[in-house]
Amino acid sequence: MMHLIVVPPAAPSARRPGHVRLLGAISISSSSINPLAGETATLNVSLARPARLDVQVVDRDGFVVRTLGPTNGVAGDNLVLWDGRGDSGAIVPDEAWSFRVVAGGGTDESFPAVNQAAMMAISPLAFSRATATIRYKLPVPSRVHVQAGTISVGPGASPSEGPVLKTIADREPRGSGFVAEHWNGFDASGSIYIPDLPGFAVAIAATPLPENSVITFGNAKRPFLDYAAHRIGQSLFPQRRPSAHHTGLDVFHDVAPNMTLSPLRAVERQVRGTVWSVSDPLLRFRLRVNGPTATAFQHQPGKIFLFIDAHLVATIDAKAGTEPFDVRLPDNDEHRIAVNWRSDYGPVAVAVARVQLASASKVRSEQVP
C-alpha cells in the first residue's frame, strides 16, 4: 500500500511557426523568502527589444494574487521585485508561488505553471530515532508527499503491502537540496511510535515546482486553505481533469482531510495514549473526515482499506465512507486498527486506533457513571 505512481509530464506548449521570442532568459533571485522579515524576491526578465512588461504572481491553482506592472521594459535585463504580498497588501500564506510574464501586450508569454511536471520517487537518506527526523534530497524545488507506515516483512510478502499510519507532509513545497522533515515519530492517533513497529517504512514522492517559483514562509496566522476558500476571480490554468496521481487537482482536491476512527460500544482508556476497550470481537466503528478539504474528498472515487495490525482485512468502496464498518478482532490481545481512505486521484486520509478486546465485566467496570 506504500507504492508510488509516476505521472507522465504534460506536453510542451506549441508555438506558431516562425515565432520570434521577445522574452529571453528569466530567473529568480531567491527560491524562498520570509516576507515577515522583509525579504523579497527579484525576477530578472530579459527582453530582446523594448516592450511593455506585465508580471502576475499566481498561487498553486493559477489564481492571481498580485499584479506587478505594467512597466516599460528595456532591451536586456529588467528587474521586477516581489515583496511576498498580495494586491491587498497582506502577506501571502506559506506556500509556493509562480509567475506569469507577458511581454509586448501579449506578443510573448512565459507561464511555466501551466505545464504539469512528472511525479518522482525520492529515497530517504536517513532517519534519526533521537529526533524522529527524516532526511532526503530533492534535485529541484518540489511539492512533496511524505508518509510513514509499515510493510510486510514475512517470506514471500510483497514490499508494497501495509498501511500508511501517518502523513508527515501532504503536498507541501520544499526547496532543493537536503531536506530535514521533522516529525515526532507517532502515528495519526498520537499513540503508536511507528519506528518501533516491524517493517517500518517511509515513502516520499515529489512533484517539481514550476520554474522560478518562490516558496514563502513565516506566516503562521493564515493557512493557505483559509486563503483559498476566499479567493475571487478565476484560475488562469486551462480547465483540468484528474488524469493521474495528483494531477489536475486544486488544493481542495489534492490534500487529504483529517480523519478519525471512532469505535462504537467501546470504553476509552489512557494507557501510553488512547486505547479503546471492547467486549465484542466484532468491532463496529465509524469514520469521520473533517476540515476544509473534506467535502471535495468525499466526492472523489476511491477505496477504503482496513488493516488489523499490518494485515489487510477488507477493501470497501469509498461511497460507503460515512457508514459504520465491522471488523472481527482475531484474539484478546491489543490490536492496531488502521484505515487508509484512498482517493483514485491520489489523496490518502489516515486514521489509526488501538483496540483491546476485554471481558464484558471489565469493560463495564471501566465505564464512567
State residue 359's pLDDT score: 61
Cβ contacts of 156 within 8 Å, gap of 6 or more: none
- C-alpha 321/C-alpha 285 separation (Å) is 11
- C-alpha 293/C-alpha 119 separation (Å) is 22
Cβ contacts of 79 within 8 Å, gap of 6 or more: 42, 43, 44, 45
At 138-195, the pLDDT tens digits run 999 999 999 999 987 666 555 557 899 999 999 999 999 999 999 999 999 999 999 9
DSSP secondary structure string for all residues of 63-101: -EEEEEEEEEE-SEEEEEEE-SB-TTSPBPPSEEEEEEE
- C-alpha 58/C-alpha 55 separation (Å) is 10
Contact yes or no for 35/84 (Cβ under 8 A): yes
Among 101, 95, 98, 127, which Cα is nearest to 113's?
98
Contact yes or no for 267/367 (Cβ under 8 A): yes
- Reduced to 3 states (helix: H, G, I; strand: E, B; else coil), residue 128 is strand
State residue 19's pLDDT score: 57
How confident is the prediction along the chain (369 residues), in pLDDT tens digits per residue? 444 333 333 334 444 445 578 999 999 999 999 999 999 999 999 999 999 999 999 999 999 999 998 999 999 999 999 999 999 999 999 999 999 999 999 999 999 999 989 999 999 999 998 888 999 999 999 999 999 999 876 665 555 578 999 999 999 999 999 999 999 999 999 999 999 999 999 999 999 999 999 999 999 899 999 999 999 999 999 987 776 688 889 999 999 999 999 999 888 888 777 889 988 899 999 999 999 999 999 999 999 999 998 899 999 999 998 899 999 998 888 999 999 999 999 999 999 999 998 764 354 455 444
pTM assigned to the model: 0.87
State residue 364's pLDDT score: 47
Q: What angle do CA 135, 138, 144 make, to 5 degrees?
A: 80
DSSP secondary structure string for all residues of 254-298: HSPPEEEEEESS-EEEESSSEEEEES-SEEEEEEEEESTTHHHHH
At 246-291, the pLDDT tens digits run 888 999 999 999 999 999 988 888 877 788 998 889 999 999 999 9
State residue 231's pLDDT score: 95
- The strand pairing partners of 54, in sequence order, are 102
Ramachandran class of 266: left when φ > 0, alpha when ψ lies in -120 to 50, beta otherwise: beta
Contact yes or no for 117/60 (Cβ under 8 A): no
Which set of grid coordinates corresponds to residue 328? Answer: 472481527
Domains and CATH numbers, the chain: 1-7+20-114+216-246 (2.60.40.4070), 118-208 (2.60.40), 258-366 (2.60.40.10)
State residue 14's pLDDT score: 40
Contact yes or no for 215/186 (Cβ under 8 A): no
Cβ contacts of 280 within 8 Å, gap of 6 or more: 265
Which set of grid coordinates corresponds to residue 39? Answer: 525579504
Helix (H), strand (E) at residue 228: helix 224-228
CA 272 to chain centre: 29
Which set of grid coordinates corresponds to residue 329? Answer: 478482532
